[in-house]
Structure formats: C-alpha cells, structure tokens
Amino acid sequence: MPATIAVRVKPNAARAKVGGCHDGRYGPALVVSVTAPAVDGRATAAVLAAVAAALSLGARQVELRTGATSRDKLLTVTDPPADLDTRLRALRDGAPG
C-alpha cells in the first residue's frame, strides 16, 4: 500500500537539504530545500529526487500526488519499506532512527 508524505518546499536555496518540520496545510511536513527555482516544475523535480535520496528510496518510488504549483506538497511513496515512518521521523523531527 502506498504511503503519503507531506513536504514544505523551499526553492532557490543556497544549498539542498532535507530535514526539519513545518506545520503545513497537510499537517507536520518534511522541509525540503532545493537550489532549483520554482519555474516549469524544476523545483518539484528536485524535491522528488532529494526526498528519494534522503529516504534511501529509488527515484521512481517517489511521485507527486498534489501541489504541483504550491510550496506545500503531498508525495506518494510506492512500495514503501517497513521502516519508512522511522526514516521520515528521523529527518522531519530529528528523532533517532
């Protein structure tokens, strides 16, 4: 069963980073900073790649569910690993993994 992840995007960042929590419109969201601008879907593509890498997932496992033009997005993880929640919590909340 696919899993859903809420993210808050910070485009045009000085450096790419995945980590931190933002109280977003979809609840506690993982903060994802990307260097790509929010133009023509480039920031969204960078977010998908960054989240997949940070969670040690394949690039094709992370897809945009909603929020193509918004900083608040929902991502879908297809075929999530059993410890996805632990991995996500460690990035979002700084909890030990």
How much is the pLDDT for 95? 58
- What gap in Å lies between CA 97 and CA 91, rounded to an integer? 9
How much is the pLDDT for 97? 43
- What gap in Å lies between CA 80 and CA 62, rounded to an integer? 9
Single pTM value for the model: 0.93
Q: 3-89 maps to which CATH number?
A: 3.30.1200.10
Distance from the Cα of residue 40 to its chain's centroid: 18
Residue pointed to by tokens 């790419």: 16
The string of pLDDT tens digits covering residues 15-46 is: 999 999 999 899 999 999 999 999 999 999 99
Domain residue extents for the chain: 3-89
Q: Which amino acid is at 93?
A: D
Longest Cα separation, the chain = 36
> Average pLDDT of 57-72?
96
